Amino acid sequence: MQTTQINLNATQRDYDLSQSLHELFTAQVERTPNAIAVTFEQQQITYQELNTKANQLAHYLQTLGVKLETLVGVCVERSLEMVVCLLGILKAGGAYIPIDPEYPQERIAYMLEDSQVKVLLTQEKLLTQIPQHQAHTICIDTEWKKISTQPNTNLESGVKPDNLAYVIYTSGSTGKPKGAMNTHKGICNRLLWMQETYQINSTDRVLQKTPFSFDVSVWEFFWTLLTGARLVIAQPGGHRDSSYLINLIIQEQITTLHFVPSMLQIFLASRGVEKCTSIKRVICSGEALPLDLQNRFFKRLDCELHNLYGPTEAAIDVTFWQCQKNSNLKTVPIGRPIANTQIYILDEDLRPVDFGAIAEIYIGGVGVARGYLNRPELTKEKFIPNPFKNSKFASQYLYKTGDLARYLPDGNIEYIGRTDYQVKIRGYRIEIGEVENVLALHPQVREAVIIARTDNTAEKQLIAYITYNSEKPTLNSLHHFLKSQLPDFMIPAAFVMLEALPLTPSGKVDRKALPQPDISHFSESNDFVAPRNQVEAQLVKIWSEILNLPQIGVKDNFFALGGDSLKALHLISRIEQHFAKEIPLATLLTNPVITELATVIQDSSIQILHSPLVPIQPQGNQQPFFCIHPAGGHVLCYFKLAHYIGNEQPFYGLQAQGFYGDEEPLTSIEEMASLYVKTICEFQTQGSYQVGGWSFGGVVAYEVAQQLKRQGKEVSLLAILDSYVPILLDKQKPIDDVYLVGVLSRVFGGMFGQDNLVKPNEIQHLSVEEKINYIIDKARQAKIFPPGVERQNNRRILDVLVGTLKATYAYKRQPYPGKVTVFRAREKHIMAPDPTLVWVELFSVMAAEEINIVDVPGNHYTFVLEPHVEVLAQHLKACLDEVMV
């Protein structure tokens, strides 16, 4: 097998690797000096201007003693200055160390101490986030006037191919991050291969959105700038906002960009992604690429998808694969080695294995790093002497990756997983040992074990298993402690408290015997109590199936165990099926424990009130915020919003009439508002009122505020969450079943970032009633409606929707004598000709009144969903806090 693997590693290319990374950039400057090199928001800079600034900074750094392989730290937000900093350090002869300003101070302090950087480049606004250190600090923004007095000529720094270009810190198994040292030769080989393979030019625009502490950013920056293409830099934090990225891609006509698979999944689910027609290629790396995600990609985008693999210790990527649109493969391979790179799959004795056999990946070639900064023992362990020297490009050492793989029959490589406890979550490499070691430092933690589990959505999550000393740590204290020392992506999603860790016969922790996350990681107390009667036993069974938990006690809280808004709807449906008793959402929210809910079900003397008021988050001493349902009638959409606003702010939903018993849906906004005003005032008898609503709910909230004012009540906040002036809607169309088909498809599709849940050709052959039923069934499959809901209950949901549509069309607005805060989604709403028309017509006759418009990322539907809902919550909380001052 050795001969076969050597043949597969015949990747020699005669690239000119005598030039350094910045010299390749300088050569491009000479070819296209006046071309735009970098664009950031409203700023842009030509290749010549960028070279001039980088030269000036390089000369200035040399006056401070920066020379060959001097380590220079960079702690800046994504900006034009970031690009100048990286090029300036390289031109001076130094190597850059990227430090993410979002990292906790303790992690930044460790990186600065471990690397002993001589100089730190930053921005003035970040100074308070950087702990004390030994380096000479330069604020690149406020000190540029002094820097710009330096010569603008290219420098002769004497950089050789084997000199360091950058050191990127990755998670460390011993509890501390470790810096991988990469050379000019390694990264230049990687970029020259990329250009030979993908061929970009001056017509291409590459999006730089990867945090620069992640090595993918290296090719985003430098591949672009050594080929004459244009680098488009996303705003700080923009890489997390799919709607922003879609707008940026369309606006800047991006042709090339990168995603880790978990972020690609979110991107593909976003509304408007199909409008990104400028994209020629998407590069995927950082995690295993699932086959179903590849298939969804080709359904939504008409461009190339490439799956790359490689660790930070080997100049970014070492294998490549172009995904196939109509492939019969059962997985997505990572492909074959790139130029001047060797991939060996070896057993424990470093012998090549046969095709199909699973073993560890070892990497050789010019891209292999020089080891870990200041970690000679770890370097010796991971970088072993190379027994397969077969060309001038073979490296002296092989990097032992800890990744498992096998050769497919055609010679391509299939990634299998890890040999150790390292995991990748959303593209970030995490050494579980680092998280364990930090968690073990908590004063109340005796032992800590972390594992990665896959949840029901196939997302990996870290789960922490803890034994504790005499006092049990609270979840808040654990979160606060970890957030002070670790980045957010390394914080466990759940904590399980145990009396003792399970052990193997040899005395080691038996990780396979650790229990599935149950009440321990959500609940602070309560010993397990088994069901005591048939009703409790059946509720335990239902909860266990809905929550996918093996052990549930009757003292457990549905929402503390992980129940959310949709799961609550499923629970209500299952209770009605099994017990033939309707339980309103408000009753579930006020009786979320099995013993309480069982009492409600068993005791016929307990009167179940179908109040519109739903206590989504009743904790806190502040004045409550009342948020009115959108057109569908339910308030389930507000659960995440209330969660992110926090436990100090009571948050109540107002749900539509018509879901339960013989209630008839209301069909006028005035009637709805009258009912909700009565409900609100009975609940809150004094003080000022805070009301709001999303979409249709904003229209009703507007009328609620009107009626409160007419009753002499004070309205301290009227929050309109992306609502539209009713007159903009099409009042000419009758609200019949034909019209309802389109509305249903649009409303339910919006929950997934799509214009419609079903395509017209899916249902064109069906009758109207069949079309409605088809949409309902598809909504059930998508878990919008609970499985098994009786058709008559579905019809109630439809009747409530019809009622809200009729109410919208009939509403006659009046000027509002007060302040209104409008939270407006940045993307165009499907039903409005122009998003700037949100409420503007309504208030045009009120020149004396104050209207505050707050822009929020996302479109009409997605801005109340992850990840945008957190931003919405921050803005809304600020308004609520302002009212309390």
The residue among 567 and 308 whose pLDDT is bigger is 308
User: What does the pLDDT average to over 353-378?
Assistant: 92
Closest CA to 100 of 112, 113, 88: 112
206, β-bridge pairs: 231, 256
Average the pLDDT over 433-459 and give the result.
75
Question: Is there a shared CATH topology between the 422-517 domain and the 609-726+813-884 domain?
Answer: no
Q: What is the pLDDT of residue 704?
A: 94
**pLDDT, position 457:** 41
Q: Which residues pair with 628 in a beta bridge?
A: 654, 693
Q: What is the pLDDT of residue 565?
A: 61
What is the token pair recorded at 397? Answer: 């050492």
pLDDT class of 456 with cuts at 50, 70, 90: very low
Query: If you write DSSP's letter for every residue of 120-166 in order, what string do you get?
Result: EEE-GGGGGGSPP-SSEEEETTTTHHHHTTS--SPP-----TTSEEE
Determine which of 451-455, 605-609, 635-639, 851-855 has the lowest per-residue pLDDT on average.
Answer: 605-609
pLDDT digits (tens, 9 = 90+) for 841-867: 344 333 325 788 888 887 787 788 777
CB 340 within 8 A of CB 189: yes
What is the distance between the alpha carbons of residues 346 and 399, in angstroms, rounded to a whole number?
Answer: 12
Q: Are 692 and 626 in contact (CB under 8 A)?
A: yes
Question: In sequence order, what E strands does 32-189 have?
Answer: 36-40, 43-46, 71-75, 95-98, 119-122, 136-139, 164-170, 178-183
Which of 49-63, 400-414, 423-437, 517-531 comes out lowest in average pLDDT? 517-531
Domain borders along the chain are 21-235, 422-517, 609-726+813-884, 737-810
pLDDT of residue 780: 62
Q: Which residue has the tokens 């002499």?
A: 712
* C-alpha separations of 710 from 37, 518, 645, 682, 846 in Å: 60, 50, 30, 17, 17
| Average pLDDT over every residue of 367-385 | 95
**Token output for 690:** 């805070």
φ, ψ (nearest 5 deg) of residue 656: -70, 155
Q: Which residues of 223-257 are buried (b: 16+ CB within 10 A; e: fewer)?
A: bbbbbbbbbbbbeeebbbbbbbbbbbbeebebbbb
pLDDT at residue 531 is higher than 80? yes
Least confident of 136-145, 161-170, 221-230, 472-481: 472-481
- Does position 840 have pLDDT exceeding 50, yes or no? no
Give the pLDDT confidence of 679-695 residue by residue, as tens digits: 999 999 999 999 999 98
Give the confidence band of 778 by pLDDT, cuts at 50, 70, 90.
confident
DSSP 462: E
The arithmetic mean of pLDDT across residues 726-734, rounded, is 46
CB neighbour list of residue 806: distance below 8 Å, 6 or more residues apart: 667, 668, 735
Residue 476 CB neighbour total at 10 angstroms = 9
- What's 244's DSSP letter? H
**In the prediction, which pLDDT does 276 show?**
95
Closest of 5, 853, 765 to residue 413, by C-alpha: 5
Length of the chain: 885
Instruction: Give ∠ CA 586-591-596 in degrees, rounded to 5.
Output: 150
Which one is predicted more confidently, 855 or 768? 855
Res 442 pLDDT > 70: yes
Q: What is the rounded CA–CA span in Å between residue 162 and residue 156?
A: 16
Q: Is the pLDDT of residue 758 over 90?
A: no
* 3-class secondary structure per residue, 490-538: HCCCEEEECCCCCECCCCCECHHHCCCCCHHHCCCCCCCCCCCCHHHHH
pLDDT tens-place string over residues 802-817 = 677 677 667 776 778 8
Q: Given a cut of 70, is residue 39 above it in pLDDT?
A: yes
Q: How confident is the model at residue 606 (pLDDT cuts 50, 70, 90)?
A: low
Contacts with 476 (C-beta within 8 Å, 6 or more apart), sequence order? none
Instruction: Please write the tens of the pLDDT for every residue from 378-437.
Output: 999 999 999 887 655 678 899 999 888 889 988 999 988 777 767 777 667 787 777 887
Of 115-124, 141-150, 154-163, 529-538, the least confident: 529-538
Task: Write down the mean pLDDT value for the chain.
Answer: 83
pLDDT at 734 over 90: no
Looking at the predicted structure, is the pLDDT value of residue 759 above 80?
Answer: no
| Range from 63-77, 295-309, 403-417, 661-675 carrying the lowest mean pLDDT | 661-675
Instruction: For the chain, report the end-to-end CA distance as a whole number of angstroms.
Output: 74
Residues 619/650, Cβ–Cβ less than 8 Å: yes
DSSP H helices, 556-713, are 565-579, 585-590, 594-602, 639-645, 669-683, 696-710
Superfamily of domain 21-235: ANL, N-terminal domain (3.40.50.12780)
Contact present, 592 and 568 (Cβ < 8 Å): no
As a whole number, mean pLDDT of residues 257-283 equals: 89
Residues contacting 507, CB < 8 A, separation 6+: none
Are the CB atoms for 187 and 221 separated by under 8 Å?
no
How far is residue 291's CA from residue 293's CA, in Å, rounded to a whole number?
Answer: 5
pLDDT at 6: 64
> Each residue of 130-180: pLDDT tens digit?
888 889 999 999 999 999 999 999 998 899 999 999 999 987 655 678 999
Mean pLDDT (whole number) for 788-802? 57
429 CB burial (10 A radius; 0-12, 13-18, 19+): middle
Q: What's the average model confidence in pLDDT over 456-470?
A: 74
Distance CA 102, CA 487 (A): 8
Smallest CA-to-CA distance from 154 within 22, 20, 19, 17 is with: 22
Q: Cα(502)–Cα(510) distance, rounded to whole angstroms?
A: 5
- Counting other chains too, the contacts that 440-445 makes at CB distance below 8 Å and 24 or more residues apart are 441/481, 442/473, 442/477, 442/478, 442/481, 443/469, 444/468, 444/469, 444/471, 444/472, 444/473, 444/477, 445/469, 445/473, 445/478
Share of the chain above pLDDT 70, in %: 83
The CA distance from 319 to 304, in Å, is: 17
Tokens of 357: 């056999």
Strand pairing report for 281-284 and 256-259: parallel
Question: Does pLDDT of 675 surpass 60?
Answer: yes
Give residues with Cβ within 8 angstroms of 503, minimum separation 6: 509, 510
pLDDT of residue 729: 44
Q: How confident is the model at residue 834 (pLDDT cuts 50, 70, 90)?
A: very low
CATH number of the domain at 609-726+813-884, out of 1.10.260.40, 3.40.50.2000, 3.40.50.300, 3.40.50.1820? Answer: 3.40.50.1820
Say which CATH class 422-517 falls into.
alpha beta
DSSP class of residue 557 equals: B
Reply yes or no on whether the pLDDT at 182 is more than 50.
yes
